[in-house]
Amino acid sequence: MAVEDVFNPQSKVITDPKVAQEKEGSDEARYWEEKRKTARSKREFESEERAARQADNMEANPPEPPLQVKGSVDLGHFDMQAQQKELKETIDRIQSEAKTKMDTLSEKNEHYRDELQKIQITMVEGTLKAQIESLQKALTEGLAKPKDPNIVDQVNQIEQIAGVLGFARPGADAALPSEIRLQMYKMEMDNTQAQRQFEWDKMMSERTWQLELKKLEADAQSRSIQVQQEKEKRGMWATPFESLGTAIARGLIDNGGAVSGSPAKRKRSSKQLQAGENDSGTIECPECGEPMAIPPKARSAVCPSCEAVIPIQRVSDGEPDA
Amino acid sequence: MLDRMKGIGELTLKGMVAANAPSIFKGMVNELLHQYHITPEVIIPMVETDQSLWSLVNEKHYEKIKKVAEQVKNIDWLTGDWFIEAIKKEHPALASLFLGWPRGKAKKWLDRQISETKKKLVENNLLPQP
């Protein structure tokens, strides 16, 4: 066995302060990690122990079971064929009963119909008999009475019936006798008729008057047209000769008919006319007031009376033409 | 005797008409312009479309003109200028139109109308051939 030199240790630990510091830090972390693991193990152990204890308790004192219903029901035996058979029998029975009832009702119906027919026939017979009797009676009475009853009686009768039925003529004077009332009606009717006739006559006379007026107007118009035509006709035939004769005479009188061939000297007027671009027509001379013409597109107009040349300023759309 | 007097009368009348032809024509022209209501508004479209003035004159007036023309043997005096001078007193607006139309367009048209009139009269043997 080798002797250990205790004064000279075998291994030397060279400690770097920086590394040592880092190592010291990691040791601390490891320490706390172990502490955490220990604590967790302890906690787990305790919980396991608690669970084991509870299991033991459960085994020793088991809990009461939940509510349970026990028992059985015997529904017996179902025979479907028997049931169907029974049902069919029931239906057949109901149908036969209904048929019997319907037969009975139809028999009753026919009986009532026969009864009704009998009653109707009896009624018709009765009515006819009554009508025949009344007709016979009326015939026997009618032969005895006059054919045309008095209208006054008829009116009275009608009024009596109306009175019985609760109708009365509004405003009727019950105190007046029927004859007088009838006369009054007649008079009213005559009056109305007369008024109507009067209105008709008035309308007709008005119409006739209007027609006459129109005829007169038409006559007057046609006469005036005739006169006008006559005048024109006469004018066509007579006027030329008359007026031409006058014209010849006038021509002869007028300066002996001499027409000077040389025109007078014209002078330019200081006045100016304004006209539209396409204007032409007749105006009064600004110098002498005599009529003169503006030829189309002319820049000056000549007055033959005063021999003035009037400049024309053409204006287009409100703007003077340069 | 009566026939001779009638003939002398006719000759006298003819001579009188011939001697005063321009005056008679002047009166006739003015009167016809009045009767036909010839105004610048009527003449302007006629000038622009070169329409004949004779289209306005009816047959009766034409016959009348012919009758007067029969009496006249010379109408050299009948010109555009004479016409304007003849009408300027009674129809100054018309005369103004003929005088004032640019480039003498209306005057030329008037000259054409007068030439046409003369031609018509010659064609109808109312005037001798020029």
The continuous run of DSSP H or E covering A312 comes out as strand A308-316
A254: which chain B residues are within 8 Å (Cβ-Cβ)?
A: 23, 26-27, 89
**pLDDT for the residue B60:** 77
Q: Is the pTM of this model over 0.80?
A: no
The pLDDT value recorded for residue A6 is 72
For residues A144 and A138, give the distance between their C-alpha atoms in angstroms, rounded to a whole number.
10
Residue-level pLDDT at A62: 77
Between A and B, how many CB-CB pairs are < 8 A?
Answer: 120
Q: Which residues, in sequence order, are bridge partners of residue A276?
A: A315
Cβ of residue A210 closer than 8 Å to a chain B Cβ: no
Using CB atoms, pick whichever of B34, B44, B92 lies closest to residue A290.
B92
Under 8 Å between Cβ of A256 and B27: no
Q: What is the pLDDT of residues B40-91, one digit of tens each?
A: 999 999 999 998 888 888 777 777 777 777 777 778 888 899 999 999 888 9
For A307, name the nearest residue in chain B, comparing CA atoms only. Answer: B96
Q: Considering CB atoms only, which of B31, B81, B100 is closest to A302? A: B100
CA distances from A283 to A271, A307, B34 (A): 14, 15, 18
- Give the pLDDT band (50/70/90) at residue A228: confident
**Residue from A236, A246, A250 whose CB has the most chain B CBs within 10 Å, to mutate:** A250
Tens digits of per-residue pLDDT, A165-203? 666 565 555 556 677 878 888 889 999 999 999 999 999
Please say if the pLDDT value at position A294 is more than 70.
Answer: yes
The whole-angstrom distance between B119's CA and the closest CA on chain A is: 22
Q: What is the mean pLDDT of chain A?
A: 80
What value does the mean pLDDT take over residues A27-53?
A: 92
| pLDDT for position A183 | 84
* Chain A neighbors of B23, CB-CB under 8 A: 248, 251-252, 254, 256-258
Interface contact B96-A248, CB threshold 8 A: no
- DSSP characters over A44-102: HHHHHHHHHHHHHHHHHSPPPPPP------------HHHHHHHHHHHHHHHHHHHHHHH
Beta pairing class for A300-302 and A308-316: antiparallel
Confidence check: pLDDT of A282 > 90: no
> What confidence category does residue A320 fall into, taking pLDDT thresholds of 50, 70 and 90?
very low
pLDDT of A69 above 60: yes
| Model confidence band, residue B31 (pLDDT cutoffs 50, 70, 90) | confident
Nearest chain A Cα distance for residue B109, angstroms: 13
Contact B81 A257 (CB under 8 A): no
Q: Among all residues of chain A, which has the CA nearest to that of B107? A: A295
Average pLDDT over residues A267-286: 85
Which of B66, B31, B29, B42 lies closest to A259 in space, CA to CA?
B29
Q: Is the pLDDT of residue B7 over 70?
A: no
Selection from B30, B34, B55, B58 nearest residue B45 by Cα: B55
Please identify which residue in the block is written with the tokens 């009606």: A185
Cα–Cα distance, B25 to B68 (Å, whole number): 8
In angstroms, what separates the C-alpha of A233 from chain B's closest C-alpha?
A: 13
Q: Which residues of A touch B28 (CB under 8 A)?
A: 244, 247-248, 251
* Chain B contact for A275 (CB, 8 A cutoff): no
Residue bearing the bigger pLDDT, A258 or A104: A104
Q: Tell me: the pLDDT tens digits for A236-255?
A: 555 555 555 666 666 666 65
Q: Kindly tell me if the per-residue pLDDT of A143 is higher than 70.
A: no
Tokens describing residue A85: 């058979």
Give the pLDDT confidence score for residue A321 in this predicted structure. Answer: 44
Q: What confidence score (pLDDT) does residue A322 get? A: 38
| Per-residue pLDDT, A39 | 94
A144 by DSSP, 3-state: which? helix
Out of A260, A282, A300, the one facing B93 most closely (by C-beta) is: A282
Which of A70-84, A216-230, A295-309 is predicted with the least confidence, judged by mean pLDDT? A70-84
Report ipTM (2 d.p.): 0.76
pLDDT confidence band for A114 (50 / 70 / 90): very high
**Are B106 and A239 in contact (CB < 8 Å)?**
no
> Could you tell me the residue ranges of all domains in chain A?
272-317
Which pLDDT score is estimated for A166?
Answer: 60
So what's the pLDDT on residue A307? 87
Give the one of B35, B82, B92 whose C-beta lies nearest to A305's C-beta: B92
Give me the pLDDT at residue A151, please.
Answer: 74
| Closest residue in chain A to residue B102, using alpha carbons only | A298
pLDDT grade, residue A75 (50/70/90)? confident
pLDDT of residue B61: 78
* Residue in B49, B54, B56, B37 with CA at minimum distance from that of residue B121: B54
Residues of chain B whose beta carbon is less than 8 angstroms from a beta carbon of chain A are 20, 22-28, 30-31, 34-35, 39-41, 44, 48, 60-61, 64, 77, 81-82, 84-86, 88-89, 92-97, 99-102, 105-106
User: Which residues on adjacent β-strands are paired with residue A308?
Assistant: A267
Q: What pLDDT is attached to residue A38?
A: 93
pLDDT in tens, A115-139: 999 999 989 888 888 888 888 888 8
Question: pLDDT digit string (tens) for A7-25?
Answer: 776 666 666 777 777 777 7
- pLDDT for position A250: 65
Is the minimum CB–CB distance between A264 and chain B shorter than 8 Å?
A: no
pLDDT reported for residue A249: 64
